[in-house]
Amino acid sequence: MQVPESLLYTKEHEWIKTEADTAYIGVTDYAQDALGDIAYVEMPEIGAKLERESVLCTLESPKAVAEVFMPVDGVVIEVNSALEEEPGDINTDPYGSWLAKVQLSEGSSTQGLLKAEGYIEYLKTIDEAH
């Protein structure tokens, strides 16, 4: 299971990569594996102002639906529309397949998000629970 060092993570298996006051958001390798073949992505509307932990978008495999939550407060400024045609790219390259680019809201913080090490530890606790 890949967990790149350079990203921040949530316990709901999103990753976030910040660049100044913008950020790219995607789902982790663990998430794509758990969901299986992703066959459909419902993207958010550009301009949508979303609070942390609200639903950013939906990913669906033939078997299941999964919601992706905002790791931060922000406004959607771009979506990766290539994924609407090739949603399976999320399975093959979860960290290259960003879902949305957001403009961080004033005062938005990445506080509470996990670093790679912390996320790996968290994954271990899930495995043990199984």
Partner 1 sequence: MANRTVLYDKHVALGAKMVEYAGWDMPLSYPGGQIAEHIAVRSEAGLFDVSHMGRLNISGSGAVDFLQKILSLNINSVNLGRAAYAIIPNENGGAIDDAFIYRFEEGSWLLVVNAANTQSVLSHISPIADELGATIDDVTGDLAMISLQGPKSKDILFEASENLYLLPFKNSTGECDICGYPVKLSRTGYTGEPLGFELFVPADGAIKVWEALCGLGASPAGLASRDTLRLEASMPLYGHEYGQGPDGNEIPALAFSLAAASVSFSEAKGSYIGRDALKRQFEAHEKIKKEDFAGIEALGQVIRPFTATGSGIARAGDKVFLGDRHVGFVTSGTIAPYFEWEGYGINSQVTQQTKRRSIGLMLIDAECITEERFEAEIRGKRTPIALVSYHIRSDAPPYSRPIVYGWSAEKEQPKQAEYAELARDLVSNAIANHNFRQQEAINLIPSEMTLSKAVRLLSGTDPSFRYAEHRKLKSYYSEDIFYYQGTGFIQKVEELLNIELSSFLGAKAVESRALSGQMANTIAFSALTSYKNRANRKAEPKRLGYVLNNHLSFGGHLSAQPMGALKDFIAFDPNTDRRALVNIPVRRDNPYKPDIEQTKALIEQYRPELIIFGKSMILYKEPVSEIREFIDSIGLDAFIMYDMAHVLGLYGPYFQEPLKEGANLVTASTHKTFYGTQRGLLAGNFESDDLLWEEIQSRAFPGATSNHHLGTMLGLLMASYEMNAFKDTYPKAVISNARSFAASLADAGFGVEGDPADGYTETHQAIVRVGYSKGIEIAERLEANGIITNFQQTPAEEGFSASGGLRMGTSEMTRFGFGPEQFGELAELMADCVLHGKNVRSAVAKLRSQFTDMRYCLDESVGADMLESLRSLY
Do the bridges between strand 49-50 and strand 74-79 make them parallel or antiparallel, or are there none, so unpaired? antiparallel
Site for partner 1 contains 116 (CB under 8 A): no
Please tell me the count of residues contacting partner 1 according to CB under 8 A: 12
Identify residues 38-67 at the interface with partner 1 (CB under 8 A).
39-40, 42, 60-63, 65
Query: In the complex, what is the shortest distance from the CB of residue 113 to partner 1, in angstroms, rounded to a whole number?
Result: 27
Q: Closer to partner 1 at the Cβ: 10 or 61?
A: 61
Burial of 65 (0-12, 13-18, 19+ CB in 10 A): exposed
- Least Cβ distance, residue 32 to partner 1 (angstroms): 10
Q: Which of 37, 78, 117, 121 binds partner 1 (CB under 8 A)?
A: 37
Measured in whole angstroms, the distance separating CA 101 from the mean position of its chain's CA atoms is 11
Q: What angle do CA 68, 90, 114 make, to 5 degrees?
A: 50
d(CA 40, CA 58): 8
Which residue ranges make up the site for partner 1 (CB under 8 A)? 36-37, 39-40, 42, 60-63, 65, 88, 91
